[in-house]
Amino acid sequence: MFKQIIIELLTEKTNLHQDEVERLLETPPNLELGDYSFPCFSFADPKNDDPMWEDVEKDFFIKKNPADIAKHFHDILTKNPLPKQIEKIETKGPYLNFFINKKELAEAITKINENFGKLKNNKKQKIMTEFCHLNTHKDMHIGHTRNIALGESISRLLEFSGNKVIRTNYQGDIGMHVAKSLWGLQNLKKLKLKEPKDNKGKWLGLVYSAAGKASEENEETMEEINEINKKLYKRDKKLTSLWKKTRQWSINYFEKTVYPDFDVKFDRFYFESEVQEKGLKIANKLLKDNIAKMSKGAMIIDFEKDNLGIFIILKSDKTSLYSTRDLYLAVLQNKEYHPDKIIHIVGSEHDLYFKQLFKTIEYYDKKIAEKESHLSYALVNSPTGKLKSRDDHGKKILYDDTIKKLINLAIKGMKDRKVKLSEKELNKRARTIALGAVKYQMLSQSPNRVIIFDEKQIMSFEGNTGPYLQYSYARASSIIKKAKQVKHKVKIPNLTKSEIALMSEMIKFPHIIKKAEQQLNPALIANYSYDLAKLFNEFYHSNKVIGSEEELFRLRLIESFRHTIKNSLSLLGIDVLEEM
């Protein structure tokens, strides 16, 4: 609201382009320098081909000092009375500093409700997000959660901004990893494994891991696994039956454990097995049209001239690859949903692959290719280096095991704080805290940055963590609960420094949402949430609420904080707790 008023004022009075004004307008390091700053460095050297200068008289700006330009803009803006929301405009060197009217700010803050942050969207789109990508017949470790957390958060962010979102999950249910698991199931005695009565999907990950280790140690085992893969490809009846049964074990595990943990509900599950055959047809057509060619028995597309290397779309043994299947997946997704945009959320190790894939799709359907995009993200490592898949005794570290460990840390943390709850409620809250900690850790860094997953650090109730944010919300809820009633219309008192700081941060939320949606970067929301929580806790420690003369206003301020932090955490997929 206030930022938009400043953007419109600058645009109207200076004739600068609104997009450029919005890009340049920033938040100063402290409130003494204003609520918003407009730097004037870029105006000292006008470029003839820059659209920013389209409606501006450039002659004045040539070889001008940025501080003089700031003064020039100040004189233009203050020539007439300012909007009531802006108290004053000052210059400090090359910066134009805007100060919001704090009474107007307080009035706006007291009107915040559960819809705060939602944007009016005149360009609503139908957007498909494709994420999760958990393979059947394979183990799941904590590193996989970055994809799920990122995909669900981006989906929520796009929905919150008014778009229609189709959540899809593309899973690998054929290929060498499946062949390894099936070999393992046929050789349980050799691997010293026993089939359990339940949790077979999780157990299947252990079978895959053991079979993979065996294939690395024995060449004959690897040959047997290759043979199983070929038989599966030719739909051997016995193997296909085992594949179907065990595939369902994995699906059941994901549906029972993983998807509920991340509160994700997919609109469509795609499997590699369903797109394989038609992918082969597209590959053969590319060969027939002389786009693809044969090289050493494999089918390839040469992208060397585009600096994209060689793209293999069929192996020399005529079995399909990811690329083969993805050729038809693009067609199927477009045919079923007709989205305006498709976002594939996949790790950065596949950056080149997606460039090659999208270039290939261009050859047979340019319109589909224009909709395709890849959101890349970096690895998850441990404090000592690469995230280990095994403990010090060689035992596989699975997702469930890590979550269980985090739950125990949460229980210990609550007991240390003398929280008295039934065992059932204690475990329920601990799970919410543990999952919140994981999600926040996976989202608090920009996707292109490597994450260091430190179990003890992420479970801290202090600092930049999920539990700290949940605790801040619970603290606010506790105050509201004690007060029993919050009035919506309140008198604005003389405001303290900590109240102004909290309100000034809170009012930024809609613009943080807009920026995060434009960049597809939930880290902006995560970092905003932490800054907001810190300011709330500073306010809490600096101001008496219940029993003070300003009680009614401060209760309403706390209620507005609850709405804001709850919405921001919801966009990260993190559940709040009324008590901790």
For 429, phi then psi, to 5°, come to -65, -40
Question: What pLDDT does 279 receive?
Answer: 95
* pLDDT for 56 beyond 60: no
**Domains of the chain with bracketed CATH:** 1-100 (3.30.1360.70), 131-266 (3.40.50.620), 273-341+353-361 (no CATH), 399-572 (1.10.730.10)
CB 140 within 8 A of CB 177: no
Give pLDDT tens digits for 300-343. 999 999 999 999 999 988 888 999 999 999 999 999 999 999 99
Question: What integer pLDDT is reported at residue 395 of this predicted model?
Answer: 56
pLDDT at res. 218: 94
Say what the pTM is: 0.93
Q: What is the 3-state secondary structure (H, E, C) of 176-244?
A: HHHHHHHHHHHCHHHHCCCCCCCCHHHHHHHHHHHHHHHHHHCHHHHHHHHHHHHHHHCCCHHHHHHHH
- Output the furthest CA–CA distance in the chain (Å, rounded): 87
Phi, psi dihedral angles at 14 (to 5 degrees): -105, -10
Residue-wise pLDDT for 214-259, tens only, equals 999 999 999 999 999 999 989 999 999 999 999 999 999 999 999 9
Cβ atoms of 25 and 14 closer than 8 Å: no
Q: What is the pLDDT of residues 165-191, one digit of tens each?
A: 999 999 999 999 999 999 999 999 999
Confidence of residue 16 (pLDDT cuts 50, 70, 90): confident
| Residue scoring higher pLDDT (566 or 42) | 566
Tokens linked to 289: 């049209």
Mean pLDDT over 132-148 rounds to 94
Is the predicted pLDDT of residue 31 greater than 80, yes or no? Answer: yes
Give the per-residue pLDDT at 80: 93
State which amino acid sits at residue 399. Y
Residue with tokens 């097995």: 273
Of 148, 160, 358, whose CA–CA distance to 261 is shortest? 148
- The segment with the largest mean pLDDT, out of 261-270, 376-385, 405-414, 486-495, is 261-270
Consecutive H or E run containing 37:
strand 36-39
Q: What are phi and psi of 138, to 5 degrees?
A: -140, 160
Paired with 382 in beta bridges are 385
Residue 495: DSSP 8-state: P
Instruction: Kindly report which listed range (59-68, 107-116, 148-157, 364-373) carries the lowest average pLDDT score.
Output: 59-68
For the cut 70, the answer to whether the pLDDT of residue 424 exceeds it is: yes
Distances 547 to 110, 240, 405, 479, 489 between C-alpha atoms, Å: 19, 72, 42, 12, 18
pLDDT tens readout for residues 374-423: 999 999 998 887 765 555 545 557 899 999 999 999 999 888 888 888 89
Say if residue 366's pLDDT is above 70: yes
311 beta partners: 301
pLDDT digits (tens, 9 = 90+) for 36-50: 999 998 887 655 455
Residue 136 and residue 169 in contact, taking contact as beta carbons nearer than 8 Å: no
Confidence of residue 121 (pLDDT cuts 50, 70, 90): confident
- Rounded (10°) angle between helices 423-443 and 466-483: 130
Range with the poorest average pLDDT among 32-36, 52-56, 572-576: 52-56
Return the number of other C-beta atoms located less than 10 Å from residue 33's C-beta. 15
Neighbours of 232 (CB within 10 A): 20
105-134 average pLDDT score: 93
Percent of the chain whose pLDDT exceeds 90:
85
Helix, strand or coil for residue 390? strand
Q: Residue 381 in 3-state DSSP? A: strand
Look at residue 1 in the predicted model and tell me its pLDDT. Answer: 83
DSSP, residue by residue, 411-467: HHHHHHTT----HHHHHHHHHHHHHHHHHHHHHSS-TTSPEE--HHHHT-SSSSSHH
pLDDT mean across residues, the chain:
93
- Residues contacting 227, CB < 8 A, separation 6+: none
- Among candidate residues 99, 43, 46, the one with its CA nearest the CA of residue 69: 43
Q: Residue 459: is its pLDDT beyond 80? A: yes
State the pLDDT at residue 123.
Answer: 84
Angle between the 523-542 and 509-519 helix axes, to the nearest 10 degrees? Answer: 160
Q: What does the alpha-carbon distance between residue 404 and residue 398 come to, in Å, rounded to a whole number?
A: 10
Q: What is the pLDDT of residues 188-221, one digit of tens each?
A: 999 999 999 999 999 999 999 999 999 999 999 9
